[in-house]
A and B are shown apart, each in its own frame.
Chain A
Amino acid sequence: MKEKILEFLYDESLKDEFEDLDHDDSLLELGIIDSVKMMEMISFLEENFGIEVDDEELMPENFDSLNAIVAFIESKKG
């Protein structure tokens, strides 16, 4: 799951950030996501992992790191 998300997020211009990325690092603080990328990522997660993200779940703690995203998807899948 992490590899698939990483592949989606990867941006060649941020090669250094991805090389040093710890899975608890803030994706926002590293510049890996912004508001547009986030909306694209929500669609990507819904399409690829069979989940539906509710409005009230749109919070930084659910999407700001790779580990948070994986934990969120797993919690949705029950």
Chain B
Amino acid sequence: MKNIRLPWGAWYGDEERSFELPESWDVSLFELDARHRVGEQRIAEVLETLSRDIRAKKPSSAIIVVDDLTRPVQLEELLPKIVSRLTAAAVAEKDIRVLIGLGSHAPLSDGDLRKKLGSHIVDRLQCINHNPRETKAIGMEWGKTEIRLNRHYLAADYKIVISGLTPHSFAGFSGGAKMLVPGIADMETLSKTHKSVLMGFMGQLGTVEQNKFRDTIEGFVERAGLDFFFGLVINPDRSIRELYGGHYVEAHRAASAEAARFCTLEADGPYDLVISSAYPKDTELLQAENAMIPLKSKKEGLLREGGTLVLMSACSQGVGHHGLFGEGGKLYRKPRPLRLLKPYNVAFYVENVDTSGFATVFNEEYFFTDQWSSLLRHITPQLPPSPRVAVFPYGSMQLVG
């Protein structure tokens, strides 16, 4: 047998796991080069741009919107530097809030906040989980839906958004205006956003230009106001690879272009078997669909028709929570087989989830297990004796060109 070593359990354990594959399998492991880190000089340049903007606007209060643990960027080092720029411009710490742009995900516990933001921030600033019921109208409508955003955000003098950029099924890349719509919107706006995408009216993976979804939400953000955006291109280990800052459209476009360069790879398919891990978005089953990003980005030619797809996730938090798509949510429905996966044999390797939990997110006809030997026994008969195998250790952020 041969071993593949994969990172496992982002935010919750962060270990490297070894998985055995038969010696006769022809395995290609698609890595991402995570050695590069943003330099101190670049950070200082972006922060100086922020300082100039703050000095010019002279705000008396500020809010900083960040993403949650389903989004893999660690802010412990960067956030205090941003706060110090605000305090240096005479914004008191008591007037600076951190708002977690949850959308309708589960609120972060104190422990989760410390993982994401660091104790220095959690102990000094008021950190608020977005509540879709605490919103205010921004004075715009989307069809018949009144757009409402978090009232604490709207009340702040100076508005900062920080987000990592990873490939996103409909926003092209995450971050930017999406941090506000749907990130800090009310349930009606959240529902409208997701319905528009699910009905196929807008949205595209890996593309922010000419993306109708992004164009639409940027119109709302223009009205609501956003003073400074930090776009973070991230490494799979959640460290910051590159940093962009400034206007929320320009900085997001620049960060997206860099993220696309970093996340896109060539894979000489078709393969008999594709193994893709949701890491570093492997916190919950509701995010496991992110492991399909390589296949979504190359629907033809990556995996042969009749081939086998193995999706993996640590699911450290089990099934997880989503106010719209989770069980009991407005857009929840009993899972059916996914159209994208119809040409393939599909198997899941997921931990911390039982049969009933699995069936609330994925169709129960899909094979799933938390035993690697059981998975191998299940998929081996589907494969030729020496199958070509592609392994994506960071499937949630790997686009295939």
Q: How far is the CA of A28 from the CA of B330 in the complex (A)?
A: 10
Residues of B within 8 A of A35 (CB): 197-200
Tell me what chain B mostly uses at the interface: helix, strand, loop, or mixed.
loop
CB distance from B333 to the nearest CB of A (A): 5
Bound Cα distance A9, B210 (Å): 31
Q: Mark B145-156, 1 if CB is under 8 A from A, else 0.
A: 100000000000
A36 touches B200 (CB 8 A): yes
Hey, what's the 0/1 contact readout for A51-78 against B, CB within 8 Å counting as 1?
A: 0000000111111100000000000000
Quick check: is A34 within 8 A (CB to CB) of the other chain? Answer: yes
Q: Which residue of A30, A33, A35, A63 has the most chain B CB atoms within 10 A of its CB atom?
A: A35
Sort chain A's interface into a size bin.
Answer: 10 to 19
A29 touches B330 (CB 8 A): yes
**CB of B200 to closest CB in A, whole Å:** 3
Within 8 A of B (CB), among A13-53: 13, 28-31, 33-36, 38-39
Name the residue on A nearest B143 (C-beta).
A59
User: Are the C-beta atoms of B143 and A61 separated by less than 8 Å?
Assistant: yes
Smallest CB–CB gap between A71 and chain B, Å?
12
* The residue from A13, A28, A30, A31 contacting B195, defined by CB atoms under 8 A apart: A28
A33 and chain B: residue at smallest CB distance: B199
Q: Which residues of A contact B334 (CB under 8 A)?
A: 31
Cross-chain contact of A38 among B142, B199, B331, B336 (Cβ < 8 A): B199
B330 proximity list for chain A (CB < 8 A):
29
Nearest B residue to A35 by beta-carbon distance? B200
Contact with A34, one of B192, B196, B202, B339 (Cβ below 8 angstroms)? B339
- Chain A's nearest CB lies how many Å from the CB of B233? 29
Is the pair A31, B336 in contact by a Cβ cutoff of 8 Å?
A: yes
Q: Chain A contacts of B143 at CB under 8 A?
A: 59-62
With contacts A28-B331, A34-B339 known, is A63 near B200, CB below 8 A? no
Q: Give which listed residue, A13, A29, A31, A59, contacts B201 with CB less than 8 A.
A: A59
- From known contacts A31-B336, A34-B339, A36-B339, infer whether A63 and B331 are also in contact, taking CB-CB under 8 Å: no
What residues on B are CB-neighbors of A36 within 8 Å? 200, 339
Q: Which B residues touch A64, using CB under 8 A?
A: 195, 199
CB closest residue in chain B, given A36 = B339
Residues A30 and B200 in contact, CB atoms below 8 Å apart:
no
Contact B192 A31 (CB under 8 A): no
Which residues of A lie under 8 Å from residue B202 when comparing CB positions? Answer: 58
Chain B residues contacting A38 (CB-CB under 8 Å) are 199-201
Q: Residue B199 contacts which of A13, A30, A31, A63 (CB distance < 8 angstroms)?
A: A63
Q: Which of B142, B143, B145, B197 has the most CB of A within 10 A?
A: B143
List residues of chain B with CB within 8 A of the CB of A33.
Answer: 199
Chain B residues with CB under 8 Å of A31's CB are: 333-334, 336
- Given the contacts A28-B195, A28-B331, A30-B333, A61 and B144 also touching, CB distance less than 8 Å: yes
A30 to B332, CA, bound (A): 9
For the complex formed, measure the closest distance between the CB of A66 and the CB atoms of chain B, giving whole angstroms. Answer: 15
Q: How far is the CB of B282 from chain A (nearest CB, A)?
A: 26
> Can you give 21 A-B contacts (C-beta < 8 A)?
A13-B336, A28-B198, A29-B333, A30-B333, A31-B334, A31-B336, A34-B198, A34-B339, A38-B200, A58-B199, A58-B201, A58-B202, A59-B142, A59-B143, A59-B201, A60-B143, A60-B192, A60-B196, A60-B199, A60-B201, A61-B144
Q: Which 6 A-B pairs have the closest CB atoms?
A: A35-B200, A60-B195, A59-B143, A58-B201, A31-B333, A38-B199
Known pairs A28-B198, A35-B197, A59-B143. 14 more at Cβ < 8 A?
A: A13-B336, A29-B330, A29-B331, A31-B336, A33-B199, A34-B198, A35-B198, A35-B200, A36-B339, A39-B200, A58-B199, A58-B201, A61-B143, A63-B199
